[in-house]
Amino acid sequence: MVTEKRARSRSPVHDAIWGGRLAAMPAWKAGMITPARLALVLMRDLAHGQLTLRATGLVYTTLLSLVPLLALSFSVLKAFGVYNQIDPILLNFLAPLGEKSADASKWVVKFIENLNVKVLGSIGLALLIYTVISLMRKIEESVNFIWHVARLRSFARRFSGYLSVLLIGPVLVFSTIGITSTIMATALLRPLLALAPVGGTVYALGRAISVFFVIGVFVFAYYFAPNTKVRLSAALSGGIAAGLLWQAASWALAEFARISTQYAAIYSSFAIFLLFLIWLYLNWLILLLGASIAFYSQHPEYLVLQQGEPRLSNRMRERVALMLMYMIGKTYQDGGPAWACSGLAQRLGLPGYALQMVLDALEQDGLLVRTADDPPAYLPSRDIGTITLEELLHTVRAAGEEQYLGPEAVPVPAELESVLARVNLAIDEQVRDLTLRNLVTPGPLFP
């Protein structure tokens, strides 16, 4: 009755957008509904505040680690002889700040050049490196939050990844820019660039290359930062959206800095610092929005109206647990490759987080074991002929009681206790003699 009242109270537009599963729709209809759902879900996530809160935290961490990060990159670039390219990159990044962008860029470069690592000592140097590592870790944690990844990479993998980005990344980026600048400045190309059609074309091509470069940076971040397997198509969709948003935000902030002269009169020399904070915030927010677009592109099952992780009802947990054990047991019996959580989620069309909770309960109760692969796969913990459906249902129905609240925490009268006991007894009697082997073997289960 309640469900019928809710259905009658919904508008036709609501039913058209949120009614039905995308996987069950025709391709043309899913292609029309998916962008609408994506836009509404992104607005919901922004209104909820988690993305903005994490973007604000990244701004604070960036302020602490900006100079150490640039100093470390400057030292590496100086060793490779391409350190002179850091000023143009900073100037391009700070261009939306307006006329003061050149002063800000020169101030940062001068501060880096005057930084004397020798006088810091071992503790100061350790703190310097820690601030840089903390920024990269916070970025990874924020992207993992968006991708609903609970497990972080191992310390060894994180250390090697951070070291590669810090040492190799700046060299590749600035070397590519330096080679491009050198080619464009050669004597052979100067006469051609002086011609109006050629010069205009080269300028437009240079702008396009800068856009592609920004998109490439976002795609790289979305493909490698989450501690999960990301499809290249999802990373591309998020990277393209984030790159275009970054270009639009850059133009909008530059126009704002140009026409908002009253801010300079109010805040004086602090106006450039406030604009810098706004620009940092927009950069991190765009990064997180692009990561959300990449996530929803790969996992359209999360495009739901409710906020937070989709939760399974008690009835659905039992149904999902039986299906998971059926798929894992049948594949094991047939000698096929073991199932990972991502493959199970894709096969069932359910959110991976909800499946992971059921898998963890089955593993904790000794019905499944996890392989050492990355990501891990799941296998039956013992002979499937000894895993009873009675044990399986009891596991999923009692999952979490040992950590939170058990039946003893809610005492009930004897009459209610007898009702609950009869319900449990009825379930046990129906499946008592059935095992997982009976479930995966073709044939009738009941006479």
Span 402-412, mean pLDDT? 73
Instruction: Quote the percentage of the chain above a pLDDT of 70.
Output: 69
Q: Which residue has the tokens 């069309």?
A: 349
Residues 280, 358, single domain; the answer is: no
Higher pLDDT pick, 407 / 55: 55
Residues 186, 279, single domain; the answer is: yes
Residues 127, 174, single domain; the answer is: yes
The answer to which of 46-50, 153-157, 208-212 has the lowest mean pLDDT is 153-157
Higher pLDDT pick, 121 / 338: 338
What range defines the domain where residue 336 resides? Answer: 316-440
Residues 364, 240, single domain; the answer is: no
Crossing angle of helices 314-334 and 341-348, rounded to 10°: 120
Q: What pLDDT score does 328 carry?
A: 94
Residue finishing a domain among 270, 302, 334: 302
Q: What pLDDT score does 245 carry?
A: 92
Residue 337 burial (CB count, 10 A) = 8
Residues 297, 363, single domain; the answer is: no
Q: Are 335 and 329 in contact (CB under 8 A)?
A: no
CA atoms of 203 and 211, how far apart (whole Å): 13
Residues 218, 321, single domain; the answer is: no
Which amino acid does the sequence have at 289? L
Q: What DSSP character marks residue 339?
A: E
What DSSP line would sit under 215-241, residue for residue?
Answer: HHHHHHHHHHSSSS---HHHHHHHHHH
* Res 157 pLDDT > 80: no
Residue 357 banded pLDDT, cuts 50, 70, 90: confident
Residue 20 counted as domain residue? no
Higher pLDDT pick, 332 / 227: 332
Burial code of 174-196, b = ≥16 C-beta within 10 A, e = fewer?
beebbeeeeeeeeeeeeeeeeee
* Res 431 pLDDT > 80: yes
* pTM score above 0.95: no
Higher pLDDT pick, 215 / 126: 215
Higher pLDDT pick, 165 / 148: 148
Residues 105, 216, single domain; the answer is: yes
Higher pLDDT pick, 336 / 276: 336
Residue 404 banded pLDDT, cuts 50, 70, 90: low
Q: What is the pLDDT of residues 173-194, one digit of tens each?
A: 555 555 455 444 444 455 555 5
Residue 9 counted as domain residue? no
Q: How far is CA 267 from CA 97, 263, 264, 271, 272, in A?
A: 15, 6, 5, 5, 9
Span 108-127, mean pLDDT? 64
Average pLDDT, the chain: 77
Residues 354, 327, single domain; the answer is: yes
The two beta strands, 368-370 and 377-380, are antiparallel
Q: What is the pLDDT of residues 250-296, one digit of tens each?
A: 888 877 777 766 655 555 566 677 788 888 899 999 999 999 999 99
Residues 366, 269, single domain; the answer is: no
* Res 105 pLDDT > 60: yes
* Res 2 pLDDT > 50: no
Span 190-215, mean pLDDT? 63
Count of domains for the chain: 2
* Res 169 pLDDT > 70: no
Q: How far is CA 77 from CA 85, 168, 169, 171, 273, in A?
A: 9, 10, 10, 6, 27
Alpha helices (H) along 147-231 = 155-184, 190-194, 196-224
Residues 126, 225, single domain; the answer is: yes
Residue finishing a domain among 302, 327, 344: 302
Task: Of 87, 85, 123, 92, give the one whose Cα is nearest residue 106.
Answer: 87
Residues 219, 333, single domain; the answer is: no
Residue finishing a domain among 274, 302, 330: 302
Sorted by sequence, the CB contacts under 8 Å of residue 22 that are 6+ apart come out as: 30, 33, 34, 37, 300, 301, 303
Q: What pLDDT score does 284 carry?
A: 92
